[in-house]
Amino acid sequence: MSFGSRLRELRETKALRQEDLGRLFTVGKSAVSQWENDIRVPDINIIIKIARYFECSVDYLFGISDDRYYSSSSMVKLPLLGQVHKDLLLLDKNNIQDYLDVPVYLSADFILKISDDSMIGAGILEGDLALCRASAEPKPGQIIAVRENTAGQFVEISLRYYFKEAGKAVLKSANPYYPDIDYQANSCTAIGQLASLIRLDAPGYEIYTDYLTIKDEEEWMGVIEAASEYGLSPQDILASVNIQAKILKRLKTP
């Protein structure tokens, strides 16, 4: 069964007209008609709202499953996003690499495979599967899935912390080697927030050593920033360190 047929079936079970359903999701009757005739598919945020309104899964809406309700022990198939085409809706079939079975209680809507170490400081490693809940309204401090409108046929989807600084939205990594991203200037769009993680492989020792490197980098960055604020040059800092080292050596000498 197609999405449009399922939507019409659910609407009719509640004795709703197309205009009634449209008002619930702030769209017109014509938009609902296009959905039910499989001319268009609503965006991911409306899809999630429709599923919650009719108390069913997204899989049921799209005809992937005929089980409308899930028990707490059930599994659900979630789309694993691959390369995301710039001109297609997020969950278009051409953007979906695979469907993976995950526990329904994790309450997620799609999956991203982490491809870099930009969030290593938050414990998110390359190769992890990030289960995300669809949301276009990020809140400060959240780890969000964000769509960056880069040049070319495809867009980048990544995880970042979302913050507001001086009234401006800023995206931050958990790795000092990755610069902050101006949310508005880079035409970024929030598509979800991190709900859970699945790790397929146990982390190796190099993850720990990489973390120590990053941790030390962050501490040294603080020293550099403080020195800059006081107008100290690298030579001034080195001279001060040498003086402190000599004092400590004399104190330790009996």
Q: Is the pLDDT of residue 252 over 80?
A: no
Model pLDDT for residues 2-49, shown as the tens digit of each residue: 999 999 999 999 999 999 999 999 999 999 999 999 999 998 888 888
Q: How many CB atoms within 10 Å of residue 66?
A: 9
User: What pLDDT is attached to residue 70?
Assistant: 55
1-69 folds as 434 Repressor (Amino-terminal Domain) (1.10.260)
- Burial (Cβ within 10 Å: 0-12, 13-18, ≥19) of residue 138: buried
Percent of all residues in the chain with a pLDDT value above 90, rounded to a whole number:
39
Instruction: Map out the domains of the chain as residue ranges.
Output: 1-69, 70-202, 205-252
Band (215; pLDDT cuts 50, 70, 90): low
pTM above 0.75, yes or no: no
Model pLDDT for residues 93-120, shown as the tens digit of each residue: 899 999 998 887 788 899 999 999 999 8
Give backbone dihedrals phi and psi of 196, rounded to 5 degrees, phi first.
-165, 170
Pairing of strands 143-148, 154-165: antiparallel
User: What pLDDT is attached to residue 118?
Assistant: 92
Contact call for residues 131 and 81 (beta carbons, < 8 A): no
Provide CB contacts within 8 A for 64, sequence distance 6+.
77, 99
Q: Give how far Cα 93 sits from Cα of 36, 62, 83, 197, 243, Å.
A: 18, 11, 11, 23, 65
Please give the single-letter amino acid code of residue 212: L
What mean pLDDT comes out for the span 146-161? 85
187: left (phi over 0), alpha (psi -120 to 50) or beta: left
Q: Is CATH 2.10.109.10 the right assignment for the domain spanning 70-202?
A: yes
